[in-house]
């Protein structure tokens, strides 16, 4: 399997999505998910029984920013994986913690092929503060109300975040997964009804 300058981000992304959809057709697969209120971004998020983040590095990319990107992923995702062209594999192995999965992307007979070098293991660096900041305000309130904590809808968002941050991290992850799946399902329905011109509005 050989990498090539023709192997672009979109080729890797499409191949990765196909594999993930085959593994679990009920999961939410989210492109370019903002992290830390926009200070970071996950190339692809896979959400169902676990929160999984995927960073894509095509032949045209470099790994200069990988060191700063990794902590953003580790603050939010239970499992993290880099999907990279062959030329990036050595540096990826050197720079990423052993918990990260590493997948090689290459071309074979004109098709994008992904090969796992190692599978991701559970990340223990999750941050409650980072987790709550990927949620919309109405999603935060819903999680709190399910736990019997009733907060006024006009309460300041920082006060709502503070209540969520005190939760057990595993329980918070459960709430985040449910919220993201519900958001993704609503977005899919809206796109079907209204087409690409419809915009989903984030409620802060």
- Choose among 15, 43, 21, 17: nearest CA to 108: 15
CA atoms of 52 and 22, how far apart (whole Å) = 16
What is the pLDDT averaged over residues 47-59?
A: 95
Same domain membership, residue 101 and residue 47: yes
Looking at the DSSP bridge assignments, the partners of residue 29 are 46
**Residue-range definition of the domain harbouring residue 102:** 9-118
Whole-model pTM over 0.75? yes
Please answer whether residues 76 and 37 qualify as being in contact, where contact means their C-beta atoms are separated by less than 8 angstroms. no
H/E segment holding residue 55: strand 51-57
Based on C-alpha coordinates, what's the Rg of the chain? 18
The reply to whether 94 and 66 lie within a common domain is yes
**For residue 193, what pLDDT band results from cuts at 50, 70 and 90?**
low
Q: Which tokens hold the place of 132?
A: 């709550």
At 77 the pLDDT is: 98
Residue 180 lies in a domain: yes
Give a yes or no: residue 43 inside a domain: yes
Please check whether residues 15 and 111 belong to one and the same domain.
yes
Question: 113 and 23, same structural domain?
Answer: yes
- Residue of 174, 162, 127, 167 lying closest to 148 (CA atoms): 167
Same-domain status, 110 and 150: no
Residues 75 and 111 in one domain: yes
Domain containing 75 — which CATH number? Answer: 3.40.1350.60
Residue 79 has a pLDDT of 98
Does 197 or 85 have the greater pLDDT score?
A: 85
pLDDT digits (tens, 9 = 90+) for 170-184: 999 999 999 999 999
Q: Is the per-residue pLDDT at 202 higher than 50?
A: no
With 50 as the cut, is the pLDDT of residue 203 above it? no
Q: How far apart are CA 197 and CA 177, in angstroms?
A: 27
Please indicate, yes or no, if residue 4 is contained in any of the structural domains: no
| Dist. CA 156–CA 149, nearest whole Å | 15
Last-in-domain residue among 53, 87, 118 = 118
**pLDDT at residue number 191:** 56
Between 4 and 88, the more confident residue is 88
Are both 28 and 81 inside the same structural domain?
yes
* Residue 158 domain flag: yes
What integer pLDDT is reported at residue 117 of this predicted model?
Answer: 96
Average pLDDT over residues 34-52: 92
């Amino acid at each position: 399997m050989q990498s090539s300058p023709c192997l672009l981000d979109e080729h890797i992304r499409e191949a990765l999505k196909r594999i993930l959809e085959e593994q679990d057709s009920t999961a939410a697969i989210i492109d370019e998910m903002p992290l830390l209120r926009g200070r970071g971004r996950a190339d692809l998020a896979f959400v169902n029984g676990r929160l999984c983040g995927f960073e894509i590095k095509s032949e045209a990319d470099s790994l200069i920013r990988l060191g700063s990107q990794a902590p953003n992923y580790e603050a939010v995702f239970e499992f993290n994986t880099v999907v990279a062209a062959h030329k990036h594999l050595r540096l990826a192995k050197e720079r990423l913690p052993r918990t990260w999965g590493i997948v090689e992307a290459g071309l074979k007979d004109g098709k994008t092929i992904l090969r796992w070098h190692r599978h991701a293991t559970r990340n223990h660096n999750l941050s409650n503060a980072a987790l709550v900041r990927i949620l919309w305000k109405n999603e935060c309130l819903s999680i709190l109300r399910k736990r019997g904590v009733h907060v006024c809808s006009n309460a300041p968002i920082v006060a709502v975040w503070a209540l969520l941050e005190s939760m057990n991290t595993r329980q918070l992850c459960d709430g985040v997964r449910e919220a993201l799946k519900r958001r993704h399902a609503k977005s899919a329905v809206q796109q079907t009804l209204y087409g690409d011109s419809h915009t989903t509005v984030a409620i802060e």
